[in-house]
Structures are given as structure tokens and as C-alpha cells.
Amino acid sequence: MRRTTLAGCGVVIALALTACSGGTEAPEENGEASEGPVESTAFGPDCADLPSEGPGSLASMAEQPFLTAVAENPGLSRLASALERSGLERELAEIDDMTVFAPVDDAFDIYPEEQVRELFDDADLLAYLIGHHVTLGEYGSRDLVEGSLPTFGGDRINTAEKDGEYTIEGYSPVVCADVRTTDATVHMVGMLLIPT
């Protein structure tokens, strides 16, 4: 199974990409994943950048599975490419309820182009990184106030909220929260979540 293979990539990813990650103690895990409405209640500064209608709009995404919604969203094109190159598409397509912390295209631009190119050339490394952005079960913004969530890749990510602003791992801002697809809750994030 890919998760076992990917567990060994943690040290490599730390060398491939450099990011400031919060080394704070993990907060206690929240309870059950929340059941949100099918209708989108998305909010955040980058939600306004989504198309108002048609492919990539909140209404369109709410009627599509996650993989299709990402592929049609102009602000998530690099994530769509990463999903395809990582080989995770088939596994993720079989999950009915997940939460994805989806890095927007600008999140990849923070890192040197050469490092990003090397990452995209290594399918296992890329799959490990993407797996760190996915949790099993759907978690809405109310579940992100303070918690520690298990990832698809087998580790955990920490979430926090302060003054109405949400961050993941202490450094990556949630720029559009509570985006719905038919099989996922999507929180768009402004930085890649780097496994430690």
C-alpha cells in the first residue's frame, strides 16, 4: 500500500523543500468530523477570486467530486497537476468523505522553481506531500479552531484559529474555507504543508 511506502519519504521532503513550520505542541484532537450542509458556506479572502459561475465556481464544485472540481478550478491547477503526477488520484477517488487542505497555485510559487520541479519529478515524494494535505472524514471550519487531525499519509496536522483567521501547522493560512464537493470539504491554503 502506498502509505507504507510513503512513510519513508519524510526526511527527503524536508530536504527538498524548506518552510517555517511551527514546532509547537499538538493541540488535543477534536471530536467527530462535522456533517456540513451540501450547500456551500465558503468564506475567506481568496473565495472572491473563484469564478462566480461555471467551472471552478463554488456552485459547480459542490456538484462534483473533489478530483473533478480541482481539475476545473483555475486557482488549483498546480494541485491538479500534482495529484495526477503523484499517482494518488485512484486512491482518493475511492474515498467518500475527506478533508483536503488544498494549496492554491501561489503556494507553490513561494519555493524556488528548481525545488518545485524536482518535487514534481519524484512521484513518491509528491504523493507523500499531497497525502499530508488530506484527512479521512470531513472537517469544517468549526473543527479547525484547535485540533490535531490524522492525515492520509499517516501523520498529523495541527489546526488553530485566532480572531477569525485559521492556520494550519501554525504558518499556512486558510484563504478560502468550507468549500464543498460531493465527497470532500476543501479548505484552500496559502502555503504547502510540509511534513516534519
For residue range 121-173, list pLDDT tens digits in order. Answer: 999 999 999 999 999 999 999 999 999 999 998 999 999 999 999 999 999 99
Residue 84 has pLDDT above 70, yes or no: yes
Residue 117 has pLDDT above 80, yes or no: yes
Other Cβ atoms less than 10 A from the Cβ of 135: the count is 25
Q: C-alpha angle 64/68/70, rounded to 5°?
A: 105
Q: C-alpha angle 154/70/26, rounded to 5°?
A: 30
Residue with cell 499519509: 153
What are the structural domain ranges in the chain? 2-17+29-189
Of the chain, the percentage scoring pLDDT greater than 70 comes to 80
User: What pLDDT, on a 0 to 100 scale, did the predictor assign at position 196?
Assistant: 76
Q: Tell me the per-residue pLDDT of 59-80, one tens digit each, with 9 for 90 and over.
A: 999 999 999 999 999 999 999 9
Mean pLDDT of the chain: 84
Rounded to whole angstroms, the Cα distance separating 134 from 89 reads 12
User: What pLDDT, on a 0 to 100 scale, did the predictor assign at position 14?
Assistant: 39
Give the homologous superfamily in CATH for domain 2-17+29-189. FAS1 domain (2.30.180.10)
pTM of the model: 0.81
